[in-house]
Amino acid sequence: MNTPAYILDEAKFERNLKILADVRRRAGVKILLAQKAFSCFALYPLVAKYLDGTTASGLFEARLAHEEMPGRENHVFNPAFTEQELAEIVKWCDHIVFNSVAQWKRFRAFPGLPSAGLRVNPLYSEVEHEIYNPCAAGSRLGVPRSHIAPEELEGLEGLHFHTMCEQGADVLARTLPHFERQFGDFLPRMKWVNFGGGHHITKKGYDRALLVRTLRDFRRRHPHLEVYLEPGEAIALDAGTLVATVRELIDYGTPIAILDASAECHMPDVLAMPYRPRIVHAGEPAEKPFTYRLGGPTCLAGDVIGDYSFARPLKRGSRLVFEDMAIYSIVKNNTFNGIPLPAIMLKRKDGSLETLREFSYADFKSRLGAI
Ligand SMILES: *Cc1c(COP(=O)(O)O)cnc(C)c1O
282-292 pLDDT per residue, tens: 999 999 999 99
How much is the pLDDT for 19? Answer: 98
Spell out the residues 6+ positions from residue 280 whose beta carbon is closer than 8 angstroms to its own: 241, 320, 321, 323
From-to residues of CATH 3.20.20.10 in the chain: 10-236
Spell out the residues 6+ positions from residue 228 whose beta carbon is closer than 8 angstroms to its own: 29, 30, 31, 32, 52, 75, 192, 193, 194, 195
How much is the pLDDT for 202? Answer: 98
How much is the pLDDT for 194? Answer: 99
- From ligand 1's centre to the CA of 102, what distance in Å? 23
- Return the DSSP state at 231: -
Q: Are 191 and 226 in contact (CB under 8 A)?
A: yes
Question: What are the DSSP calls for 121-183, one per residue?
Answer: E-S-----SGGG-TTSTT--SSEEGGG--GGGGTT--EEE----SSB-HHHHHHHHHHHHHHH
- Return the DSSP state at 279: B
Mutate which of 121, 230, 327 for ligand 1? The one with the most ligand atoms within 8 Å of its CB, which is 230
How much is the pLDDT for 294? Answer: 98
How much is the pLDDT for 190? Answer: 98
> Across 210-313, where does the E strand assignment appear?
226-229, 240-251, 255-259, 290-295, 304-310
CATH number of 10-236: 3.20.20.10
183 lines ligand 1 (CB under 6 A): no
Quote the CA–CA distance of 43 and 344 in Å, as a whole number. Answer: 12
Mutate which of 33, 36, 121, 233 for ligand 1? The one with the most ligand atoms within 8 Å of its CB, which is 36
Which segments of the chain have a pLDDT < 70? none
- From ligand 1's centre to the CA of 35, what distance in Å? 9
- Say which CATH topology domain 240-366 has: Lyase, Ornithine Decarboxylase; Chain A, domain 1 (2.40.37)
Show the DSSP H helices in the chain as ranges.
Answer: 10-27, 44-50, 59-68, 83-92, 101-107, 169-183, 208-221, 233-236, 263-266, 269-272, 361-366
Spell out the residues 6+ positions from residue 356 whose beta carbon is closer than 8 angstroms to its own: 8, 40, 42, 343, 344, 345, 346
How much is the pLDDT for 95? Answer: 98
From-to residues of CATH 2.40.37.10 in the chain: 240-366
Residue 230 Cα: closest atom of ligand 1: 10
Quote the CA–CA distance of 196 and 125 in Å, as a whole number. Answer: 12
Query: What pTM value is reported for the model?
Result: 0.97
As a dihedral over the C-alpha atoms of residue 129, residue 131, residue 132, residue 133, rounded to 10 degrees, the angle is 80
- From ligand 1's centre to the CA of 230, what distance in Å? 7
- Residue 160 CA, chain-centre distance (Å), reads 17
142 lines ligand 1 (CB under 6 A): no
Beta bridge partners of 115: 95
How much is the pLDDT for 221? Answer: 98
How much is the pLDDT for 203? Answer: 98
Quote the CA–CA distance of 102 and 121 in Å, as a whole number. Answer: 15
